[in-house]
Structure 1
Amino acid sequence: MKKIFSIFLLFFCLLIFSQKKWDLRFYNELVGSEYVIYADNTEVMPMSVKFSFKMINLKSSIPNDEIIVIPADTKRFLVAKITPVNPRDGNQFSYTNTYNFGNVVQKDFEEDYIYSLPFTNGKTHLIFQGYNGKFSHQKDAALDFDLKIGDPVYAAREGTVVLTEDSNLQGCPKISCAKFNNKVLIMHNDGTFADYAHLKYKGVAVKKGDEIKKGQLIGYSGNTGFSSGPHLHFSVFINRIDGSRTFIKTKFKTSQGDGIFLEEGKSYTKND
């Protein structure tokens, strides 16, 4: 009997960070009687993807909904092989996928890393919203520093810039304005990410792919996006495939000492 391979490739992309499209491509090749699915990831960070298959007379080398982590800057990464069950019968398959940036199955990270305060050395700033804050940090381990528009922002930890945005002018105290956040996103060497948000228009001083040192200038504070007033939003997290985040409480070096957890309503002086 003549073999029939009907392929229906359906893609669903989970869009994060103002509907950012990541530079990730999936494609398949017919090798003998099986199809091989490959991925090209030209991002500077790993990307994670979950596949769901519908198959007739075919089997996949990976089970449905298994999460595959594709390394950064990788081409022709083998995702799966689709093989006929009975080579004499017709077959077809389709799949959907969901993907997100980072290693979403990661569990471990460097718990005792000491971060640098993300503002000018010698300056003192207030934490006006802390972990699990009532305005926009409910269930989030994030910090809001009372920086003014134009105040310099420095990297709290070394890493690689994976995303920048500074084309937005708007800001308002509603979640609908979150899409206007100007920001810098940095990946650390333990796989976690730091988000520096609400930067001013044209207020980013680095570019994607830059290797950043701790204490390096990365941008200027502002009042864009989901914001009730000028400030710097800072958080560290591990991404998950569904778009949620596992937030990490971070220890800082301050004039009071090393390894300090910052608290809402208190002021801290940078003394590096």
Structure 2
Amino acid sequence: MIKKNSFLVIVITLLTTSTSLKTQAQERAIEVSSIRNSDKSVDIQYQKNKPGSYTIKVKFSNISNTFASDYEDVIQYGSGTLITLRPQNSNLDIGYSYNYSYSMGNQKPKVDSLFQYLLPFKKGKKVTVYESTNLNEEYFGAEKVDSWKSYHITSTTADSIFAMRKGIVVDLKNEYQTDTVTNMVYTSKKNTLLIEHEDGTYAAYKGFKKDSFKVKLGDIVYPNTMLGVLDRFNNKRYVLHFNIYYHDQSRIVDNTNATLKTAKSTHAFVTPYFFTKEGLIKIVPKSSFTSETNESIITKEMSKKEIKQHLKSKTI
């Protein structure tokens, strides 16, 4: 806990947003195994235990009776075969060894910088949007993140929060009760939701009341899907922090032994366009906008089946 000006308090933990390509066995997001087949071939298979996309790398060594090059790809499904090793001499077994590493997300995303997002509040809600500072940079002298772009909105009511875009819930933290500490300027102890989008970007939403989530890990959400309810902050108001980012391969680093000052982000942040009652805008800090939506934005990334189900639900 850090005191500022003798009366403001910041509660902060390591705010690194990176995930190293180093295999993290304790998480067991991805498990890789090999199976020898009757025709002497070998299948290198994977099991994915968490939702969302993962980039996986497999490096081979001690190869005999086959040809194998190092493998790298993005996996999205729950399980499958990464590569099949085939014998050069069908009468002999293949000799091989391998190791693998993985990281959350697509390291080569196809980011749609012109995509239109919704403000994460109920239609008709007028909000004032502020830019958030990077706490590691401001208070701990961490290296500046060139693309840093994060926002926060304060409210006097416990508003419901809605999805800005279609995606899959890939992380959900529902741990913290309402903090009654006053004069607090920031705390990292926030209930959070992370949603992966089709183009490889992520939306992070922070500041939910414990047990208020209306979605769960692995759920598909659509624009204007209710996600949860805001929690009280500083014992008097409600604050939503949110940003949109993607994994930048050029920034991959190992933060295993990093400190608050030396930790480096592997994320590049997006300055999105928002569809509002005032028009299609990019956020101008400290300006007010009114949340708006329409059918074309809600259905833009839906499959034909999803559109059919959406239209059916509206007639019920």
TM-score (norm 1): 0.72
Q: Secondary structure at the match of 2:209?
A: strand
**Which of 112, 120, 134 is 1:110 aligned to?**
112
Q: Secondary structure at the match of 2:285?
A: coil
Structure 1: which amino acid aligns with 2:34? N
Matches within 5 A, 1:179-258: 180-222=189-231, 230-240=238-248, 242=252, 244-258=266-280
Matched, 1:169 2:191: no
Structure 2: which amino acid aligns with 1:29? I
Partners of 2:66 and 2:83 lie apart in 1 by 14
**Which of 68, 71, 74 is 1:69 aligned to?**
74
RMSD: 3.6
* Residue aligning to 2:103: 100
**CA shift in 2, pair 1:113/1:92, >3 Å:** closer
* Residue aligning to 1:30: 36
Q: Decide which structure has greater helix share.
A: 2
Partners of 1:173 and 1:82 lie apart in 2 by 60
**Which of 291, 298, 304 is 1:270 aligned to?**
291
- Is the 2:166–2:222 Cα contact (8 Å) retained in structure 1? yes
How far did 1:81 drift?
3.1
* Residue aligning to 1:48: 55
Matched, 1:78 2:82: yes
Partners of 2:64 and 2:228 lie apart in 1 by 55
Matched, 1:146 2:151: no
Partners of 2:178 and 2:40 lie apart in 1 by 54
> 5+ residue gaps in structure 2?
1-20, 138-143, 254-265, 294-316
Q: Secondary structure at the match of 1:37?
A: strand
Q: Secondary structure at the match of 1:157?
A: coil
Partners of 1:55 and 1:13 lie apart in 2 by 21
Structure 2: which amino acid aligns with 1:264? P
- Is the 2:131–2:149 Cα contact (8 Å) retained in structure 1? no
- Is the 1:152–1:220 Cα contact (8 Å) retained in structure 2? yes
Partners of 2:185 and 2:63 lie apart in 1 by 50
Matches within 5 A, 1:1-16: 12-14=22-24
Partners of 1:203 and 1:37 lie apart in 2 by 41
**CA shift in 2, pair 1:206/1:195, >3 Å:** same
- Is the 2:108–2:248 Cα contact (8 Å) retained in structure 1? yes
**CA shift in 2, pair 1:202/1:257, >3 Å:** same
Render the CA deviation track for 1:42-95: whole Å, top value 9, x for unaligned.
5442321123444365766232xx52212323x23224638689x999966342
Render the CA deviation track for 1:138-161: whole Å, top value 9, x for unaligned.
522222222457321111112222
How far did 1:34 drift?
5.2
Render the CA deviation track for 1:123-178: whole Å, top value 9, x for unaligned.
22222325xx354685222222224573211111122223322122387767xx64
How far did 1:271 drift?
3.8
- Is the 1:40–1:76 Cα contact (8 Å) retained in structure 2? yes
TM-score (norm 2): 0.63
> 5+ residue gaps in structure 1?
1-10
Q: Decide which structure has greater strand share.
A: 1
Structure 2: which amino acid aligns with 1:25? E
